[in-house]
Amino acid sequence: MASETVLIIDFGGQYKELIARRVRECGVYSVIKPHTISAADVSKIAPIGIIFTGGPGSVTQDDAPTCDPKILEMGIPVLGICYGMQLICHMMGGVVASGEKSEYGTVLAELRGDCPLFYGQGGQRRVLMSHTDMVTVAPPGFDVTAKSAQCMIAGIENRDSSIYGVQFHPEVENTQNGTEIIRNFLYRICSAKGGYTMENYLSEQIKLIKERVGDKKVLLALSGGVDSSVCAALLERAIPGQLTCIYVDHGFMRKNETDEIRRVFEKKNINFRWIDASDRFISKLAGVTSPEAKRKIIGEQFARVFEEEATKLGHIDFLAQGTIYPDVVESGTNSAVIKSHHNVGGLPEKLGFEGVIEPLRALFKDEVRRLGLLLGLPKKLVFRQPFPGPGLAIRVIGEVTREKLNILREADAILREEMSSTRTRADQYFAVLTDTKSVGVMGDCRTYEYVLALRAVRTTDFMTCEFARIPYGLLSKISSRITNEVPGINRVVFDITSKPPATIEWE
Ligand code: XMP
């Protein structure tokens, strides 16, 4: 798709996506592939440069991840990061030894400014180290380009074969000017021209979609989330009038959310179909209390309603989906099922579409957001927090009823209003209606009503999180507004658990 690609070869490091994003931020498209990729498949991608990621393994062990040795002989510039550098050394005749103790954290390193990788960055720099093994002898033909107090070989180069390595992590913010080092690799070593921007991506996708779809019809399940909304806006721009969006309203959206989504999409040049299926979902959930059962029922019903509506439309040629790059990279690598995430992606295959269109498949979330803004979607929608497919049904603990949903909706709206009007930072926040009632007192009367839990977390990847440190003054205001304004709640608690051991959602 892009004229220039940098290939990131994954050795299991936690920063692979960060490396890929940094490369893109520098204006060059990047893809991530597993370390088992063959040299022949690398040739097909025809990258202008290759980056080996870090990884938890040790090259001193037999089962350590390695790569096709021919990749290092293709004449394509290579940068090895952490484990990636150790592997290069190991494969090319250097020595890697297991250290006595790990070096972890930000340290000062001395970088040689005459190395093209460190152009403009010579001298002492703060860098993030995270390793136990280290290179003790550089391979023949390699020079040492960086060192730190504990690590005498923290950077290597072989200019003739354009192979470079760093023991530290240039992709993280803790490394001073780390992005400049990546930029040097791209522009000084790989001779990149740049030009990968969302503006260019947009015009390229419009062209591709037009070519593929022609005058045929496309169907999209719109959830109101960022990905499906951006996908809809992009398709409308590319093939105005040819897109039908089905919005299945399961009745578990937050206060005013469905109206906001309808306002945005009903005025576009899209056949927008809003299906109010809330009665059906609520009745299917009657008496159901198990979180997994709730999720499964909602997922199944969603697919069924969608299928019924799609069938009514007659023949549709293509199904569009808002799949994004992290879904592609992570698919198949998930281990234990903690929660069955219901996403609009798992839609019926039997509808007989000619093909699937996934115009965001190559993008990271931040890129999808930038594209959404370029397409003129409202900021509120583009920067919407993640919201689970089953919606408030998994934030009402135990059996879901309309009454409980209404209570939760009002309380959640107060929490969101108060949080958005302060500078307190949290990446996701919401309310949970527990199925516990507690005794309270109001006026001179005893009350016996629900306990509401507030959840607010700080996270970058939503795989782990810390609870957000909300100031007591704000918590107090939220609690007092909720207990005063929302009938049915007489007690508010704040969830102070991280993930792990908890998850972000309660169900
Ligand atoms: P957990 O609860 O697993 O949530 O720690 C991690 C992130 O995923 C969101 N989440 C979902 N997103 N469909 C989604 O699209 C789902 O079924 C779902 N369940 C949880 C959750 O809000 C958090 O951001």
pLDDT, tens digit, 9 for 90 and up, residues 271-318: 999 999 999 999 999 999 999 999 999 999 999 999 999 999 999 999
Helix runs in 123-214, H state only: 178-184, 198-213
Percent of residues in the chain assigned helix, strand, coil, to nearest 5? 35, 25, 40
Phi-psi region of 450 (alpha: psi -120 to 50; beta: other; left: phi over 0): beta
**What's the mean pLDDT in 79-96?**
98
Name the closest-CA residue to atom 20, ligand 1: 388
User: Predicted confidence band at 324 (pLDDT cuts at 50, 70, 90)?
Assistant: very high
Residue positions annotated with a catalytic role? 82, 169, 171
% the chain with pLDDT above 70: 95
Residues 310/428, Cβ–Cβ less than 8 Å: no
Report the pLDDT value the prediction gives residue 460, as an integer from 0 to 100: 82
Report the pLDDT value the prediction gives residue 140, as an integer from 0 to 100: 98
Q: Which atom of ligand 1 is nearest to the CA of 502?
A: 5
| Pocket test residue of 223, 503, 504 for ligand 1, highest count of atoms within 8 A of CB | 504
**Ligand 1 lined by 390 (C-beta under 6 Å):** yes
Cα 210 to chain centroid, rounded: 28
| Pocket test residue of 335, 339, 458, 460 for ligand 1, highest count of atoms within 8 A of CB | 339
User: Predicted confidence band at 463 (pLDDT cuts at 50, 70, 90)?
Assistant: confident
**Please, what sign has the CA dihedral across residues 324, 325, 330, 331?**
positive
**Ligand 1 lined by 388 (C-beta under 6 Å):** yes
User: Predicted confidence band at 329 (pLDDT cuts at 50, 70, 90)?
Assistant: confident
Helix (H) or strand (E) holding 44: helix 39-45
**What's the mean pLDDT in 258-270?**
96
Report CA(504)–ligand 1 centroid distance (Å). 7
Strand, helix or coil at 319?
strand
**What's the mean pLDDT in 75-94?**
98
CA distance 414 to 426: 16
pLDDT, tens digit, 9 for 90 and up, residues 241-256: 999 999 999 999 999 9
Q: Does residue 500 have a cis peptide bond before it, meaning omega lies within 30 degrees of 0?
A: yes
User: Predicted confidence band at 197 (pLDDT cuts at 50, 70, 90)?
Assistant: very high
**Ligand 1 lined by 342 (C-beta under 6 Å):** yes
Report the pLDDT value the prediction gives residue 2, as an integer from 0 to 100: 64
CA distance 327 to 349: 19
**Ligand 1 lined by 296 (C-beta under 6 Å):** no
pLDDT, tens digit, 9 for 90 and up, residues 140-182: 999 999 999 999 999 999 999 999 999 999 999 899 999 999 9
Give the number of other CB atoms < 10 A from CB of residue 336: 4
